[in-house]
A = this chain, B = another copy of it.
Amino acid sequence: MAGPGGFGLRDDAAVVSLRPDEDLVVTVDALVEGVHFFPDDPPEAIAVKALGVNLSDLAAKAAEPTGFLLALALHDRHPAEWLARFAEGLRAAAEMHGCPLLGGDTVRTPGPLTLSITAFGTVPRGRMLPRTGAQPGDLIYVSGTIGDAALGLTLRLNDDPPALGSILRAGMQAEDLAHLGDRYLRPRPRLALRGALRDHAHAGMDVSDGLVGDLRKMLRVARVGGSIDTARIPLSAAAQHAVAIDRRAFETAVTGGDDYEILATVAPDHALLFERAAAEAGERVTRIGQVLAGSDEVLFHDLSGSSLTFDRGSFQHF
């Protein structure tokens, strides 16, 4: 294991110590140039995304980040300036989240830039929030707003759904375009929700592959179903504007990926406590539905009670 240039790491391995009353939570996510980010994305943003998507997994497990390892496969086209900007972006993101780089491995690739980050976090012993813990009757919550990143990606593409990107680009205000573009580039891991989740949630996962598909995954592993009120799914003002311009933007928002918000189920008698704890942490959470017994189907219905189906169960990266 050799650290990336400039980090001053000089051993084959790093040591992680725990207090006796803690468990370590470990997670890994890989990003590939041309799949998870664009080759011309700012290197700082690529660093922010690579660390952010992993910290989002820790947040969903109610874990406090303690450090990370980076495996970086670089091709020759990346000049030293690119690497310096990437390293600076990573350093700044690591500092902001209190999650230092512990080590890494840098290798050469003839192919696309590929990053893999392994993030470490701690929870009180036995208290990692599982993905599998949803119980019938639980209320279903989601953090932040849904669909911004998927719409931000759509704005950079034209073909999925057909022409939606160009229609939105032509119809939206600069401010909205900037908001959606930034949400695609720079995920914000909801680490501040950690305490609220740990104290009040039964199940948690991060929304990375689309709300609809990830919700199905979370309920299926608990062998429960759910009912979602689609009108309650929180959309940013920019996303609402997009839906007003072209209704297809709604399906993109709820099935597209890269939200890096938290999906959680909470027992009804903890709902107010959960909402209050989230508000105190400065994070928005919205109740969007309820866990149901009897099947592992997830029903989506609108205000009129009509049920909705989605062509795309889950997000496919471009």
Q: Decide yes or no: A26 and B103 within 8 Å by CB, A11-B130, A71-B71, A131-B10 being known contacts.
A: yes
Chain B residues whose CB sits within 8 angstroms of the CB of A109 once the complex forms: 32, 35, 111-112, 114
Quote the shortest CB–CB distance from A26 to chain B (angstroms): 5
User: Do A28 and B104 touch across chains, with their CB atoms under 8 A apart?
Assistant: yes
Chain B residues whose CB sits within 8 angstroms of the CB of A132 once the complex forms: 10-11
User: Do A27 and B103 touch across chains, with their CB atoms under 8 A apart?
Assistant: yes
Chain B residues whose CB sits within 8 angstroms of the CB of A16 once the complex forms: 23-26
| Choice from B1, B58, B60, B206 contacting A28 with Cβ under 8 Å | B1
User: Do A24 and B28 touch across chains, with their CB atoms under 8 A apart?
Assistant: no
Q: Is A304 an interface residue (CB 8 A)?
A: no
User: Do A110 and B10 touch across chains, with their CB atoms under 8 A apart?
Assistant: no
Q: Decide yes or no: A12 and B31 within 8 Å by CB, A110-B111, A112-B111, A125-B17 being known contacts.
A: no
| Choice from B12, B17, B29 contacting A61 with Cβ under 8 Å | B12
Q: Which of A16, A58, A70 has the most CB of B within 10 A?
A: A16
Chain B residues whose CB sits within 8 angstroms of the CB of A72 once the complex forms: 30
Q: Is A140 an interface residue (CB 8 A)?
A: no
Chain B residues whose CB sits within 8 angstroms of the CB of A131 once the complex forms: 10-12
Q: Is A279 an interface residue (CB 8 A)?
A: no
Beta-carbon nearest neighbor of A22 in chain B: B18
Q: Is A108 an interface residue (CB 8 A)?
A: yes
User: Do A17 and B25 touch across chains, with their CB atoms under 8 A apart?
Assistant: no
User: Do B13 and A27 touch across chains, with their CB atoms under 8 A apart?
Assistant: yes
User: Do A114 and B11 touch across chains, with their CB atoms under 8 A apart?
Assistant: no
User: How many chain copies?
Assistant: 2
Q: Is A317 an interface residue (CB 8 A)?
A: yes
Quote the shortest CB–CB distance from A38 to chain B (angstroms): 13
Q: Which of A234-248 contact B (CB under 8 A)?
A: none
User: Do A25 and B13 touch across chains, with their CB atoms under 8 A apart?
Assistant: yes
User: Do B12 and A69 touch across chains, with their CB atoms under 8 A apart?
Assistant: no
Beta-carbon nearest neighbor of A28 in chain B: B69
User: How long is the Cα–Cα vector from A128 to B17 in the complex, in angstroms?
Assistant: 11
| Choice from B61, B63, B108 contacting A32 with Cβ under 8 Å | B108
Chain B residues whose CB sits within 8 angstroms of the CB of A111 once the complex forms: 32, 109-112, 114
Q: Is A293 an interface residue (CB 8 A)?
A: no
Chain B residues whose CB sits within 8 angstroms of the CB of A32 once the complex forms: 73, 107-111, 114
User: Do B110 and A34 touch across chains, with their CB atoms under 8 A apart?
Assistant: yes
User: How long is the Cα–Cα vector from A128 to B103 in the complex, in angstroms?
Assistant: 15
Chain A residues in contact with chain B, CB under 8 A?
Answer: 1, 10-18, 20, 23-32, 34-36, 57-58, 60-61, 63, 69-73, 102-105, 107-112, 114, 116, 118, 120-121, 123, 125, 128, 130-132, 205-206, 221, 317
Known A-B contacts: A20-B20, A111-B111. Give 14 more (CB < 8 A). Answer: A1-B27, A13-B25, A13-B58, A14-B25, A14-B26, A15-B123, A16-B23, A17-B24, A18-B24, A28-B69, A30-B116, A32-B107, A32-B110, A35-B109
